[in-house]
Amino acid sequence: MKKKKLIFFDIDGTLLTEEKTLPLSTKQAIYRLKELGHELAIATGRAPFMFKELREELGIDSFVSFNGQYVVYNGKPVYQNPLDQEELQLLIGEAERQQNPLIYENHEQMCTNIEFHPHIEEGMGSLKLAQKPFYNPVFYQGRDIYQSLLFCNETEQAGYREKFSQFEFVRWHELSVDVLPAGGSKAKGIEALIRYLNIPLEDVYAFGDGMNDIEMLTFVQNSVAMGNAVDQVKAVAKYVTKHVDEDGLLRGLELVGLLEKEKEKEEEAV
């Protein structure tokens, strides 16, 4: 058997298509990787409760969530990096002054600071989630908040970045950015899991397509950008595979040698 690898997969645009469906080829590829004995993990900006069904369908119990702030291995939390409460309070005050709505997320649920806002409806609607945020403007009090979603345009984002150096602002939608602790990224969460498992970096792989995957694909030596990734993401990846809608994940796994190409297997069988 080949040496065990640790493989990370982004969700949106990587495991799931732009229509949020799971290609059959992707599901079968995940099962084959598990049969080969590899360690598989999801690396996403989503909160854990947002992809519980996907984890169950794929049989993956390890993940890097909130863009690296909450890391779980086989159901056990191994790394947590919440937002600073005092700085978050200042951010909330500024967002309220600018009338930019917020969502607060911990590992169990998400809450808004406003009962309704069209930008929240549009942004969250694009994720096609079964869950919707509850209205609770004080949800952040007395809880670890691992990520906040700030709904603002790019000009407003630049202003927040200048005022709040303790936070990272990573755009995930034209109407919204993820708010993370400064220095927080999928790469930091992946690094924490690598240390926990004591796996050499050369045995780690990562697949992604979005702007929040740049640090991950830069950090991981065996990095693969999806064909649907933006140019900035493709530029930092070691490999570029096909579009997610064209069996891109399967082709990427074949490209880096984690799975054999079906054609080659057929030729060997003849």
The Cα angle at residue 150 between residues 187 and 218, in degrees rounded to 5:
20
- Kind of pairing, strands 39-43 and 63-65? parallel
Annotated catalytic residue 10: yes
Q: How far apart are CA 221 and CA 1, in angstroms?
A: 22
Which candidate, 82, 84, 86, 88, places its Cα nearest to that of 65?
A: 82
List 10, 12, 178, 213, catalytic entry: 10
Which residues have CB under 8 Å from 101's CB, separation 6+? 95, 112, 113, 114, 117, 119, 120, 151
Are 186 and 43 in contact, with CB atoms under 8 Å apart?
yes
Q: What secondary structure letter does DSSP report for 107? A: S
What separation in angstroms does the CA of 57 have from each of 15, 28, 125, 180?
12, 11, 22, 28
| Catalytic machinery residues | 10
